Amino acid sequence: MKKEVLVFISDCYADWESSYICAELNKPDTEFSVKTLAVQNSPIKSMGGFTVIPDYSIAELPAQFHMLILVGGTSWMKRENDEVKQVVDLCVAKGIPVAAICDASTFLADNGYLDDIEHTGNSLPYLEEYASGYKGSEHFIEKQVVSTERFITANGTSAVEFAKEILSYLQVMPEDQLDEWYHMFKVGFYK
């Protein structure tokens, strides 16, 4: 049986931020399966205009899953995703890794999850402005992606780096193959 990775989506989610990682994790030869999670299971429209019917609502959260991925989007600033905090709390309690990019990282910062661990986000001034509960500025690192034992954080310009870090964390492919994968999507076939 494949290990489920849940991708939390909400109205106007940034569909490109999860595209690289979902495509790789969902390949038939991996041990993973990607499923979408939302506050409710009504249709969700991405920033790119794709309509998705979530696999699970928060009320239907599966008993077991292997990772939670939070993607950015415009609804984080409107506080429409606050209910996902209970899922993040569950992940923390059970030792399930959480990966967040763009304003999903801001959500983690605002709710205190990043106060005592190394992390990144859209920028330190951005977190200080838009995450009123944030107290982790001394642990902020100016990098595209930062990975700790249970949290992966990324800024909104790092969809490829975010995917690479998750693929490495989950040991989806050997490191040399992962380096080739990263180079292909970051640089391309030709310079």
Instruction: Encode pLDDT of 129-140 as tens digits.
Output: 999 999 999 999
* C-alpha pair distances (Å), 172 with each of 84, 89, 109, 136, 146: 26, 26, 28, 31, 18
Instruction: Encode pLDDT of 3-42 as tens digits.
Output: 999 999 999 999 999 999 999 999 999 999 999 999 999 9
Instruction: Encode pLDDT of 142-191 as tens digits.
Output: 999 999 999 999 999 999 999 999 999 999 999 999 999 999 999 998 87
Is residue 58 within 8 A of residue 88, CB to CB? The reply is: no
Quote the CATH superfamily of domain 3-186: Class I glutamine amidotransferase (GATase) domain (3.40.50.880)
**Residue 122: both structure tokens together:** 């859209």
SS3 letters for 111-126? Answer: CCCCCCCCECCCCHHH
Instruction: Encode pLDDT of 43-100 as tens digits.
Output: 999 999 999 999 999 999 999 999 999 999 999 988 888 999 999 999 999 999 999 9
What type of residue sits at position 153? T
Any idea where the domains of the chain sit in the sequence? Answer: 3-186
Q: Which residues are catalytic?
A: 102
- Nearest CA to 108 out of 148, 159, 143 is that of 148
* b/e 50-71 (16+ beta carbons within 10 angstroms → b): eeeebbbebeeeeeebbbbbbb
